Structure 1
Amino acid sequence: MIGRELDGYWKTVVNTIRDGVMIINPGGTIVSVNLSVERITGYSRAELIGTHLSILDEKPNQTSDNKSDSASQTTFSAEGVDQHQCLVKRKDGTLIHALKSTAILHDVEGSALGRVYTITDLSDIMEKENQLEAYRKQLRAENEFHGIIGASPAMQHVFEIIENAAQSDAPVIIYGESGTGKELVSRAIHQLGTRNTRPFIKVNCASLTESLLESELFGHVRGAYTGAYKDRKGRFEKANGGDLFLDEIGDLPMSTQIKLLRVLEEKVIERVGSSTPIDIDARIISATNQDLPRLVEEGKFRNDFYFRINIIPIILPPLRERLEDIPLLIDHFFQTMSLKSTKKIDGVHKETMDLLMNYRWPGNVRELKGTLEYAFVTCHSGPILPNHLPETITRSHPRPTPPKKTGLNMHEIERQELLEALEKTGGNQSQAAKLLGISRVTVWNRMKRFNIHAKRDVVSS
């Protein structure tokens, strides 16, 4: 019946859809498929029509109770669109990850005629996810410390302080310009500490008014103010046993500083609208991009509160003071973005790398990441060139003049730059990649493309 109602227009439409589209009757028999179903499953249309949908199941006899794993759940009681991931068995026996969506087809009287199935092949996405996870594992083994990238002496010193701070319950304060990674440091302290199985709660002190901030921190009781319709726990109670991260603590109102000082000294809070003390056991980690000693001198920050939170200070260097980490960060962001993109972008051109190394980075690592994201949008293929960068960067520093290579085309220039980098690093592909601002895989691919053999062509300087 369904097959008779399908006309040529419908077939033309569904055959242009990249996802697989099937129609089955109430008995679970396939009555129509589009071209994408053939491509995804490996079966021909003739092999599928008239066959039960269970042919595509990993476990054909699986019951519909486990529909999250089955590709052929065929009940007709549920209305609307049912969508979930499943495994689809191809003709060659291999299993592919897919997203299955199903909906009931009704006739004009509302009776169920069958179901329409769409199958989205997730193989490429799952492969990218696996590559990304493999890269994360590789990164963790090299220049990464709990999500923080850095091999410079300044960052190695920071990592050492983080490890020491994590073993203490004393308050920690993280100083650093905007975009230096203060929250990442706070999370690393939590993950390395003895409280890592307990909550990690964040509060941005600059984003709330004084009254809302106190309610957010300490909670409130019903009727404490207009709109307080029921008792509510604050962040201190939610963080009990764990760590409370107070970001932008330099913006904390003086009145709240007094109350926090009491919490630090007495380990007790009171909800807004209540005088009942509540015992608290939460370590405070704070962060600021302001000069707290100067604020103390100006009377804008309490001296006693400052000395109470400044027990273990961690100072994050700005990106301009750890230039040797820029190639590492670029490589990290480039690899991560490449795995999430379908574009074939071949690293960062040396001229572009020179611009990035000479820029001041007022927004630090956050700005660098945003710059790479912008470049991935503007660059369609090949290496990232200076014209792919935001104007704020290209205008901030005169573009380096590339060395003259008379009579050489771009292919020859790239080959010569790669040879020079390999010679400077003694043939070390990893170091050459960092010098050029590209990945090691890109160096390897270019060596193959340019027919460069390390032992034969590279002369160490």
Structure 2
Amino acid sequence: MDIGKHWQTIIESVQDGVIIVDSGGNIMAANTTALLMTGYKKEEFLGKSCRILNCTGCKIVGKGPGKEWCGLFSRGLIRDKKCFISHKDHRSVQILKSATVFYDDNGDIVGAVETLKDVSDNIKFENELISLKKTYLLEDGFHGIVGKSPVMQSLFELIENVALTETPVMILGDSGTGKELVARAVHETGPRKDKPFIKVNCASLNESLLESELFGHVKGAYTGANRNRIGRFEAAHGGSIFLDEIGDIPMATQVKLLRVLEEKKIEKVGDNVSIDVDVRIITATNRNLEQLIQENVFREDLFFRINVFPIRCPSLVHRLDDIPLIAQHFINVNARKTGKNILGFTPEAMRQMMTYHWPGNVRELRNAVEYAFVLCNGSSVGPEHLPERVTVGPGPGKRSVRECREVLAESRADQAVDERKQLIQALKVAKGNQSRAARAIGVSRVTIWKRIKKYGIDLQRDLD
């Protein structure tokens, strides 16, 4: 077969733009893709100098043919060079260009063939994806917290506002809602972000070990204390300490903790020397501390000392709109970790996930995705890859989409009522002064003004 007779068919079969120029840079041939990319008709393009494209990647000398014409003929080869060419309508088109010089039997330059890949759409898509990730927190989210629902946007706003103060924060919420992530976000958003963030799980230690863990001990303080040890408060000096499950602290330890919070001093177990500590207090619990106070197992004065600014982490069933985002986030995390090329969920799998009530919240959702990665060998997670509890039929573990939406609407309504009450109370205490009310709540004065408008608060009627 004489390939020379079929060269036009060959270049037309290439998806990228193809241009053939002679040794003087004159355009001898071009495929349809190249014409569409540049906006020229065939008769307008062929025979013209390649300068018509104004390619930013070309170094044209123009003193003669071959090596005297441009840098390409000197180098002989270009691979995947990013540059811009000019469209007929004078707009710029970003391309990825490759070019190869070809020679005659005597080794003289005859011309070159160039392939042009239009990457402007790819660049636009990448920019839109970056913008989307920033808007909807698709990467690591707000300090690791993924969500775009209104209730989560309000949570992020609260974190940013209270982080700038030294106010003690208590994080409330069911197990698995991400209380530790919120605590870390408060620390990382505030002025102490470059200092230590120390976590203590108060439920995992008995009374004697918890005191040693919090305050440290000296050698010989008790059996087994064969060396001095600094406590978590001392380790957190200058930073923040996060006391998780604070509702499980024994009463005797509560007394000592209250003294530390009030005096900002600690004493190691077995020692009577006071040590100054400067820490920000962040606590968390999924228990009803007010009920524990009624049962005389939690001190009321400690409660008021740590519950200055409460932040509630919403349950997953109250932020249904975030389930696809969070699930996709865990898909990406597990894909990087396992190397599996799993891209997402089938529609049916996502429907099952949206109607499941997720009693374990985000932690349970994360575990469900990890479970699916073990079973799934394709590119999409289907219902057959999810844990059985997520895909079972109607029952105590399943809700209809309508029921889930009703729960979500009730949650948002309750949040609005609570936010309105909190604002009215703050304005009453501040005698209507919006700046003082803003400082009390931990938000800006502009936010106070917006919420007054949002909730239709009448400063005379409602404050009276």
TM-score of the alignment, normalized to the shorter chain, above 0.5: yes
Q: Given the alignment, which residue of 187, 197, 200 partners 1:200?
A: 197
Aligned residue number for residue 142 of structure 2: 145
**CA positional deviation for 1:146:** 1.1
Aligned residue number for residue 383 of structure 1: 380
Q: Given the alignment, which residue of 300, 305, 327 partners 1:308?
A: 305
- CA pair 315-396 structure 1, distance change in 2 beyond 3 A: farther
**CA positional deviation for 1:292:** 1.0
CA distance in 2, matches of 1:141, 1:324: 15
Q: Given the alignment, which residue of 247, 252, 255 partners 1:250?
A: 247
Q: Given the alignment, which residue of 330, 338, 341 partners 1:341?
A: 338
**CA positional deviation for 1:141:** 5.4
Q: Given the alignment, which residue of 153, 157, 166 partners 1:156?
A: 153
Is residue 362 of structure 1 aligned with residue 359 of structure 2?
A: yes
Aligned residue number for residue 237 of structure 1: 234
CA distance in 1, matches of 2:134, 2:331: 16
Counterpart of 2:246 in structure 1: which amino acid?
I
Q: Secondary structure at the match of 2:203?
A: coil
- CA pair 306-400 structure 1, distance change in 2 beyond 3 A: closer
Counterpart of 1:308 in structure 2: which amino acid?
R
Q: Which has the larger radius of gyration?
A: 2
Counterpart of 1:170 in structure 2: which amino acid?
T
CA distance in 2, matches of 1:201, 1:137: 34
Do the aligned residues in 1 keep the contact of 2:331 with 2:343 (CA within 8 Å)? no
Aligned residue number for residue 19 of structure 1: none
Do the aligned residues in 2 keep the contact of 1:182 with 1:316 (CA within 8 Å)? yes
**CA positional deviation for 1:396:** 5.7
- CA pair 174-217 structure 1, distance change in 2 beyond 3 A: same
Worse overlay, 300-309 or 333-342: 333-342
Please list every run of 5 or more consecutive structure 2 residues that lacks an aligned counterpart in the other structure: 1-128, 401-464
CA distance in 1, matches of 2:318, 2:399: 21
Deviations 1:190-211 (A, max 9, x none): 1111111111111100000100
Q: Secondary structure at the match of 1:262?
A: helix
CA distance in 1, matches of 2:213, 2:343: 48
Counterpart of 1:212 in structure 2: which amino acid?
L
Deviations 1:400-428 (A, max 9, x none): 99xxxxxxxxxxxxxxxxxxxxxxxxxxx
Aligned residue number for residue 325 of structure 1: 322
**CA positional deviation for 1:142:** 3.3
CA distance in 2, matches of 1:307, 1:295: 13
CA distance in 1, matches of 2:174, 2:198: 22
CA distance in 2, matches of 1:287, 1:209: 18
Is residue 265 of structure 1 aligned with residue 233 of structure 2?
A: no
Do the aligned residues in 2 keep the contact of 1:163 with 1:192 (CA within 8 Å)? yes
Do the aligned residues in 2 keep the contact of 1:354 with 1:400 (CA within 8 Å)? no
Aligned residue number for residue 55 of structure 1: none
Counterpart of 2:221 in structure 1: which amino acid?
A
CA distance in 2, matches of 1:400, 1:233: 50
The correspondence of residues 434-445 of structure 1 with structure 2, limited to 5 A, is none
- CA pair 344-232 structure 1, distance change in 2 beyond 3 A: closer
Deviations 1:227-251 (A, max 9, x none): 1122211111110111001011010
Aligned residue number for residue 109 of structure 2: none
Deviations 1:303-339 (A, max 9, x none): 1110100001000110000000001101111122223
The correspondence of residues 410-429 of structure 1 with structure 2, limited to 5 A, is none
Counterpart of 1:228 in structure 2: which amino acid?
A
CA distance in 1, matches of 2:318, 2:382: 25
**CA positional deviation for 1:139:** 3.8
CA distance in 2, matches of 1:369, 1:239: 30
CA distance in 2, matches of 1:242, 1:183: 16
Counterpart of 1:374 in structure 2: which amino acid?
Y
Please list every run of 5 or more consecutive structure 1 residues that lacks an aligned counterpart in the other structure: 1-134, 402-461
Q: Secondary structure at the match of 2:198?
A: strand
CA distance in 1, matches of 2:202, 2:223: 22
- CA pair 136-234 structure 1, distance change in 2 beyond 3 A: farther
Counterpart of 1:286 in structure 2: which amino acid?
T
The correspondence of residues 108-127 of structure 1 with structure 2, limited to 5 A, is none
- CA pair 394-197 structure 1, distance change in 2 beyond 3 A: same
Do the aligned residues in 1 keep the contact of 2:173 with 2:313 (CA within 8 Å)? yes
**CA positional deviation for 1:379:** 1.1
Do the aligned residues in 2 keep the contact of 1:345 with 1:383 (CA within 8 Å)? yes
The correspondence of residues 81-96 of structure 1 with structure 2, limited to 5 A, is none
Aligned residue number for residue 282 of structure 2: 285
TM-score, structure 1 normalization = 0.56
Do the aligned residues in 2 keep the contact of 1:174 with 1:182 (CA within 8 Å)? yes
